Chain A
Amino acid sequence: NAGVMQNPRHLVRRRGQEARLRCSPMKGHSHVYWYRQLPEEGLKFMVYLQKENIIDESGMPKERFSAEFPKEGPSILRIQQVVRGDSAAYFCASSATGQGSIGNEKLFFGSGTQLSVL
């Protein structure tokens, strides 16, 4: 039973390029969360998605960032026109139940994508 799969593990982009990060949740999980972690900081929530729906994107920057979780295929976090400040570890997590379930928000994380912007 595969866990949460993220790819690529490492991604290097030059300023102005686009970055696409992919996340396949655990089998049977329909809730996906994206987090960003800067060095020496905690995880910062970005977006919460269910299949074909964005439930909460309050942590997403208004510009250049978008996320989707299509009916088929992995969830994608897309960063357009990357800047050096986008360099971070991006973690995806999935859960069987959503954030509305008290005490049942156990998250399973992927190994993350380390984005480096040159």
Chain B
Amino acid sequence: RKEVEQDPGPFNVPEGATVAFNCTYSNSASQSFFWYRQDCRKEPKLLMSVYSSGNEDGRFTAQLNRASQYISLLIRDSKLSDSATYLCVVGSLDSNYQLIWGAGTKLIIKP
């Protein structure tokens, strides 16, 4: 089992729809969680950190479920510019605090 798993997609979603995807992690000692966005083999860019209480940034909402060991990303009112690969990143103190990256979920927003 991979340490951080994501559905590779692609998720094909019409513009304006709401889309959500999850990321599961295997290490119960994981302490920090992030969503990054990567466009067309360019560099990843931080989208948002994920806090225990959940957090929202505009159209984006991130949630953490420690009991089931997954984080989620919800995108409301999707825009064409949201098309990208979304990378889930998990950090654990007991892995020398390396950040473990998921392989990403590809999202395609269609007009």
Instruction: Give residues in A with beta carbon < 8 Å to B.
Output: 35, 37, 40-45, 48, 56, 58-59, 89, 91, 99-100, 102-103, 105-112, 114
Contact = CB atoms under 8 A, between A and B. Distances in A.
Interface string B36-78: 0000011111100100000000000000000000000000000
12 contacts: A35-B101, A40-B8, A42-B104, A44-B101, A59-B98, A99-B97, A102-B91, A102-B93, A103-B31, A106-B34, A109-B43, A114-B41
A74 to B, nearest CB: 16
Interface of B: 4, 8, 31-32, 34, 41-46, 49, 87, 91, 93, 96-104
Closest 9 CB pairs of A and B: A109-B43, A42-B103, A42-B101, A99-B97, A43-B101, A45-B98, A103-B32, A42-B102, A111-B43
Q: Which secondary structure characterizes the binding site on chain A?
A: loop
Contacts of A59: 98
Contact of A99 (B8, B49, B98, B104): B98
A24 B111 CA distance: 39
A58 B98 contact: yes
Q: Taking each of A99, A111, A114, which has the highest tally of chain B beta carbons within 10 Å of its own beta carbon?
A: A99
Q: Taking each of A41, A48, A107, A114, which has the highest tally of chain B beta carbons within 10 Å of its own beta carbon?
A: A107
A43 B102 CA distance: 8
Contacts of B31: 102-103
